[in-house]
Amino acid sequence: MTRLTSIPGLPPLLACLGILVVWELLARWYGLNGLPPASQALPQIPHILSDKESLIDMGESLRRMAIGYGLALLIAVPIGLWMGRSRYAAAFFNPLMMVIYPVPKAALMPIIMLWLGVGDASKTLVIFLGVTLPLIYHSYQGSRAVEEKLLWSASAMGLGGFARLWRVVLPAALPEILVGCKTGLVLALITMVTSEMIARQAGIGNIVFVSLDLGAYDTVYAMIVIIGMLGILFDVGFEVLRRRLVGWADSPHTIMVGSA
């Protein structure tokens, strides 16, 4: 058994197969209309992925996710780095984070819809808010962990505050920042689907709810599997990127920060 589990990629594969077996057995045991067996739902995946309208919906979702995630990177990472090096910035932003942290970001969707309507802007803002907190937190922790000797050396070489932040703090804190980026990627996917379920227009969440309204439960479960597959692809792709950027650092343990 030890030899089997040492094979790369085999434990996750076995876990997925185990879930499918349990799913199939439970569906056949209870015989519920709302719980189709895996053997009925999984064949719907090729049909969904070959349908032009479904692909357009998924493309819209990924576009919103990319915009919200990108904006969070541009804004949250500098704030976190600044907080780690300035006690005044930390004193200002920490109370705000403590207030916002426990609030599920999807719960803000109805309020944001009142402000911005049900279009892309409201969904993108919810994704942005869901990603921001882990990025700030891990950037803050990475910035605080930078050795003071590096900053003293940079000051002795004539680097100003912004230059030290860009050329010294950012590279040194990058491994920790990438932990926040990985966590934020998962939260971006969660908030993307959740926001589209609340404000139902084009998107993955809309496909799920339309299928639910039509009683196409096999399509609903197929979409859930597709969302899970997207999460795996994002995780694997990000891990490849992380190893290229900070291969010298230890493998990070993802810390889930914030609530979707």
* Domains contained in the chain, number: 1
Q: Is the pLDDT of residue 81 over 80?
A: yes
Q: What angle do CA 124, 129, 135 make, to 5 degrees?
A: 120
pLDDT, residue 45, reads 92
Q: What CATH number is associated with residue 152? A: 1.10.3720.10
pLDDT, residue 146, reads 79
Q: Is 34 a member of any domain?
A: no
Q: Is 138 a member of any domain?
A: yes
pLDDT, residue 258, reads 45
Q: Is 5 a member of any domain?
A: no
Q: Please give the mean pLDDT across all residues of the chain.
A: 82
Q: Is the pLDDT of residue 172 over 60?
A: yes
Q: Is 126 a member of any domain?
A: yes
Domain region containing 48: 40-246
Alpha-carbon dihedral of residues 241, 244, 250, 251, nearest 10 degrees? 30
Cβ neighbours, 10 Å, residue 98: 9
Encode pLDDT of 193-226 as tens digits.
888 877 767 788 888 888 888 888 899 999 999 9
pLDDT, residue 260, reads 56
pTM: 0.83
pLDDT, residue 225, reads 92
Encode pLDDT of 116-162 as tens digits.
877 788 888 989 988 999 999 999 998 888 777 766 676 667 666 66
Encode pLDDT of 226-260 as tens digits.
998 898 889 888 888 888 888 766 544 444 444 45
The residue ranking higher by pLDDT, 158 or 96, is: 96
Q: Is 8 a member of any domain?
A: no
Q: Is 159 a member of any domain?
A: yes
Q: Is 135 a member of any domain?
A: yes
Q: Is 145 a member of any domain?
A: yes
